[in-house]
Amino acid sequence: MSTLNINPLIYRFVRYCLNRTYLDIDDNKLSADERYSLETILAIIRQAEDNWEGIDDVVKFISEELPKIYGQALERLPDRIVDELFEKMLNNCKELDEVKSNSKVLNAINDAFNEMKNVKKKFLEGSKTRIYEPSA
């Protein structure tokens, strides 16, 4: 595939949406284990980019994988940090012209927000073996 035909969102998702969000997150109160978990979650998202060849791959990732990663993050980190990371990341993406002009991507992001609410609800109702008690 020619690089001229590649949608810029493929590169901007990590570089703009994710990395910009990470810079805004206050992780000073996280323990060393929590920081490691945060870095692991970020690495999972960053590595997903390696497999994206087109905008449909990004849409599939946002729709299917991102809510799963959100659930994994809830198991490892305080939910306030997880919510901030994922909400800001998706909101940053909504600012991009590549997203504003593509209803498929915009719908995937809005659907991901809804799916994350479902994941969080199940998490809050779920396992008593989790490491962190969610904040009220």
Q: What is the mean pLDDT of the chain?
A: 89
Percent of residues, the chain, with pLDDT higher than 90: 78
Residue pair 76/37 in contact (Cβ under 8 Å)? The answer is yes
Model-level pTM?
Answer: 0.86
Q: Which helix (H) or strand (E) holds 56?
A: helix 55-60
- pLDDT tens digits, 71-125: 999 999 999 999 999 999 999 999 999 999 999 999 999 999 999 999 999 998 8
Sequence-separated (6 or more) residues with CB below 8 Å from residue 1: 53, 54
How does DSSP classify residue 111?
H
Q: How far apart are CA 128 and CA 52, in angstroms?
A: 36
Q: Which amino acid is at 64?
A: E
